[in-house]
Amino acid sequence: MSEQGLAPRRAAAKLIDGVTIDHRLMSELLPGPLANMPVQERARAQRLATETLRHLERCDRMLGPFLRNKPDDKAMTILRLGTYEICSGGAAHGIVNDCVALIKQDEYLARLSGLVNAVLRKVDGNQQKWDELPPSRLPKWLRKVLVADYGRRTMEAIEAVHAQIPPLDLTARNDPAALAELLEGTVLPNGSVRLPGQGQVTALPGYQHGTWWVQDVAASIPANVLAAQPGERVLDMCAAPGGKTMQLAASGAAVTALDLSEKRMARVSENLARTGLHAELVVADALEFESDAFDAILLDAPCSATGTIRRHPDLPHAKDGGDFPQLFALQEAMFDQAWALLKPGGRLVYCTCSLLIDEGEEQIRDAKQRYPDLEIDTESLKVPGVEVDWIGPEGLRLRPDYWADRGGMDGFFIACLRKSA
């Protein structure tokens, strides 16, 4: 047993328990078990937890034949963690020893140490079955809804992308081609630069000089659709962490970034300073925000974030959909507030990083009923990188299985709306 290997596995198990047992998002749990750990161990623990959650159902299918009855939840976590590591090429002897050591550290679960040892050794003897298993499916509470919206075949294609470690997308401050050459990346059709791995972001060339920022390709498209112009007054509602704010500021527009979270807005401020861009930052409740009318507004509304599961595989295991009705109502209220702050003749881009139709197309259908002066502008959605068949009557639907051969993208819905003059 090596404490060097045991510590990250112990921390990873605690993170997995926090998600699957306590139903908390990974972001809520951090730094938690990772506090005071060396950087490398911290990164390893988080990666182990994230990838075990990414392949959770696959782990369970692998373990199924070797378990007569499902053990205690915490014991199941250790078995899943060990299974993922063994089946992803880890040295089985050390993994099994550490998993047995972990179970023995819990006075109540120590009695299951023999089970953990025996089961993981059987997993090690049957590794070839791992590659034969299909990608993990989303939990039933979410999968049922999405299958109803998109069909079973599309859902399977989305889950296949979810099973992959996502690439890293960057938005260049000026020259995407030069950035791609510097970092040995690829320029995507929309102008984002894609890197194949997930290394330490702050150590990459150009970070300290603010020549780029991290932003998934799908998340970069709403600001491109808004197409802010120099001199326009533009509002970025729900602005944190600031990727879209920086895109808007780079256009030369007079940008106001609005968000409720003081902590998250501090990060926006840091990112603006690093990139040499400027925006007025306002920490306030968007529903109570008062201002003169804006020429253009970008509303990235609070949502289920189901479009980001490829990067946050903890989400479907921490949530159960119980907060969806409140989110739908909040989105409607936010839309109404944005519409009231928009000048006649102005444009509003409404978007959500969600796969749920209720958070996208349905919100626009309802808004069209409420506002006779609302015009849906689908022509403005035809920005570089967007394929015509992704655009529907209400707006642009992006899915993880789009550009699957390049690594996919987050799920998003984006609509461009114009207010009659």
CB of 410 within 8 A of CB of 307?
A: yes
408: which DSSP letter? -
Q: What share of the chain is helix, strand, coil (3-state, %, to 5)?
A: 50, 15, 35
State the Cα torsion 61-26-192-165 to the nearest 10°.
-20
If one counts every other C-beta atom within 10 angstroms of the C-beta of residue 236, the result is 35
State the Cα torsion 371-373-376-381 to the nearest 10°.
-120
* CA–CA gap between residue 26 and residue 11 (Å, rounded): 12
* CA–CA gap between residue 150 and residue 383 (Å, rounded): 24
Evaluate the omega torsion of the peptide bond into residue 316 and state whether it is cis, within 30 degrees of 0: no
Block residue for tokens 């926006």: 268
Query: Can you give the C-alpha Rg of the chain in angstroms?
Result: 23
Strands, E assignment, 80-232? 168-172, 186-187, 193-195, 212-214
* CA–CA gap between residue 308 and residue 219 (Å, rounded): 10
* CA–CA gap between residue 316 and residue 136 (Å, rounded): 12
Distances (CA, A) of 268 to 237, 238, 242: 13, 11, 5
Block residue for tokens 């911290």: 42
Q: What angle do CA 254, 260, 263 make, to 5 degrees?
A: 95
Q: Which two tokens stand for residue 92?
A: 């089985």
420: left (phi over 0), alpha (psi -120 to 50) or beta: beta
Our answer to whether residue 353 is catalytic in this structure is yes
Helices 92-104 and 73-87, axial angle in degrees (round to 10): 170
Q: Which two tokens stand for residue 298?
A: 């970008």
Residue tagged active-site, from 59, 99, 238, 353: 353
Q: What are phi and psi of 224, to 5 degrees?
A: -65, -35
What residues are labeled active site?
Answer: 353
